[in-house]
Every structure is written in C-alpha cells, then in structure tokens.
Amino acid sequence: MGQRQYFSNCVSWPKACDEHFGAPYAEALDLLIENGESISLETFRSELDPEAYHDLLAMLNYAQPDEEGLHIEDDYHVAFKREPWTGLVYAVHSAIEYVFATSDEIEELQERAMSNDLADTPEALVLVHAGSLCGSARMFIGKQEADSARHAVLQEVADHRGPLIVIDGFLSDELSSHEQALIDEALAENAASGHLALRLWGCDAGESPYPSWAPFGASMEGAVFEGQEEAATAIAPRLADHRILVTGAWATEDLSTGCASSVLVALREALGSAAEIEHSDHVVYEPDPSLDDDCENDEPEI
C-alpha cells in the first residue's frame, strides 16, 4: 500500500500553507486541476496510507469498506485523478479537490506553474444570471435592447476558451432551449479542453432550482448555493491565477447593486487586491442606479 497523506482541499488551500510555505500556492492548485488525469479508485487507494483513506471516507460521509451504507465506489459523482508531473493524487467530490501530496511535491508543482508564461494563462469568464436578460430586461430596457444584450452575452460565452463558470438564478428558465444548449455546449467544450467548467445555482430570491435545472461539473449537492455571492466565494480559489471577467446581469459602475457586480465584489474579497477581476465588455448595466436587483424582487418595479 502507498503512504500518501492528506494535504488539503481546494477550499482551504491557503490555510494549508503554514510554517512550510510563504504563499498560498494557488498556481500549483490550478495546474494540478487542469492537468489531472483520471485514474481508478483502486489506483487512487493504492497510493494512500490506509488510515488516510479511511479518514477521507469519514470526511466525505461514506461508509467504511466493512460497513453498511453508501460506499464511495457506488457514487458515480466522485472522480479520482493524478497530476502527471509530480504523481500526486486527488479525489474530486462535489466540485472540491481533496489532494494527497507531500509539501515537496506542492513546492515542485508551484515552481513549475510559476515557470510557465503567465501571458498564456487563459482568462476565466463568469456568467451571472443570463435569464435576467429575458423578460425582466425587456421590461427595463426594451425588447430590442434586451434581446441584443442577451445575444452578445451568450455569444461571448460561446466564443470563450478558458475556465467558464455559469451561475443561474430563478429567471434562468426563461432562456430558450437553443440558448440553454449554447451554454451547455460551451461548458462541455471547455471541460473537454481541460479547463474548469461549472454550472452552479445561486439566487438571492431564495428560490430552489427549478425541476429541469441541472448542474455541470458538480453534483447537485455541491452546486447549489444560497446566493450568487456564496457561489462566487466557493469557486474563487480555483480561479486565483487567472484574470477574471464577469458578464451577465446586472452591473453598476460603482458596484453598489446588481447580481453581476455582487459576484465581482465577492471574487475580489476572496482573492485579494492583487487579483485582476473586471466586468466584461458585454456585462449589462442597470439603466438606473436605483434599480433593485431582480434577484431581490420577484416582480421588479418599474
């Protein structure tokens, strides 16, 4: 049996860098996620110290091999991967990576990541509440303007090559089947190219996902958040070494209101002042600074 011990998960990654590290090593995390190659559960388990494997099962609420209950091998949502350069392994559960590695391996991976030309690092795109650009936007800014804005945002998503995060709200069911398919295809294409691709639920209205909504890149349990800010905070560590563009609806120049602006603020708070996070050229601005976010009111006032 192997002897690998648990290192950290992607959510608590900066906290893992204590006396051994002087930096969060976000670049190492991103590199291992993007380069991860699928391996079997048997291969993954053979790399781990037996006690570390048992601890992982307990952490993720799976039954131990000799116990009754849900076993990890019976949950098809869980994936097991190896970073090919260092050989470290990790499990992916509810869109969270649980990494088993030595501190030396993480340092080696960080050095390799930092040696890459950062100019080649693709931008990340975060699409916020595209459904708000349907009926709600037509009421606020007019049918032609809303339809044109929605087309521009969705074309931006279709053309994007790099990490892609989609955060839906209760108005996302107003998107046409063609528009839904466009988003799903963009997610699938970027995932196939090795980029982070997630479709998450985050709506301040408190609405649960509508029956036909489905996540991408995560289980339902790991994809549903109380609001768009919570979703943004959860995925922020995985975008740490990318320039991030936020698109969708709604935005304000002073970032005081609007779902898209609230996501931008949440990402900046999570990643710090050094992160490069901006509204995209296609983000849709509220027509009036006093306009309430459509996620805070089921029926917008006009």
- Give the confidence band of 26 by pLDDT, cuts at 50, 70, 90: confident
pLDDT at residue 269, as a whole number: 95
- Is the domain of 257 the same as that of 132? yes
- Give the confidence band of 24 by pLDDT, cuts at 50, 70, 90: low
- Is the domain of 103 the same as that of 210? no
CB 194 within 8 A of CB 35: yes
Which residues span the domain enclosing 88?
A: 6-116
pLDDT at residue 154, as a whole number: 97
- 291 pLDDT higher than 60: no
Of 43-52, 72-81, 164-173, 265-274, highest mean pLDDT? 164-173
290 belongs to a structural domain? no
- 293 pLDDT higher than 60: no
pLDDT at residue 3, as a whole number: 87
pLDDT at residue 299, as a whole number: 39
- Is the domain of 87 the same as that of 153? no
- Is the domain of 76 the same as that of 166? no
- 119 pLDDT higher than 50: no
Q: Give the contacts of 210 (CB within 8 A, at least 6 positions apart).
A: 170, 172, 173
- Give the confidence band of 116 by pLDDT, cuts at 50, 70, 90: low
Residue that terminates a domain, selected from 93, 116, 139? 116
- Is the domain of 165 the same as that of 281? yes
**Structural tokens at position 18:** 């204590």
User: What gap in Å lies between CA 225 and CA 207, rounded to an integer?
Assistant: 10
21 belongs to a structural domain? yes
Average pLDDT score over the chain = 88
- Is the domain of 271 the same as that of 127? yes
- 236 pLDDT higher than 90: yes
pLDDT at residue 292, as a whole number: 43
Residue 58, Cβ density class (10 Å: 0-12 exposed, 13-18 middle, ≥19 buried): exposed
For the chain, what is the domain count? Answer: 2
* pTM score: 0.62
**Residue 288 vs residue 208, higher pLDDT:** 208
When pLDDT is averaged across residues 189-218 and rounded to a whole number, the result is 93
pLDDT at residue 1, as a whole number: 52
Residue-wise DSSP of 15-75? GG-STT-SS--HHHHHHHHHH-EE--HHHHHHHB-HHHHHHHHHHTTPPPTTSSS--GGG-
State percent of the chain over pLDDT 90.
Answer: 67
**Residue 128 vs residue 293, higher pLDDT:** 128
User: What gap in Å lies between CA 170 and CA 212, rounded to an integer?
Assistant: 11
- 20 pLDDT higher than 80: no
State percent of the chain over pLDDT 70.
Answer: 89
What confidence tens digit (pLDDT) does each residue in 135-180 have?
999 999 999 999 999 999 999 999 999 999 999 999 999 999 999 9
- Is the domain of 168 the same as that of 277? yes
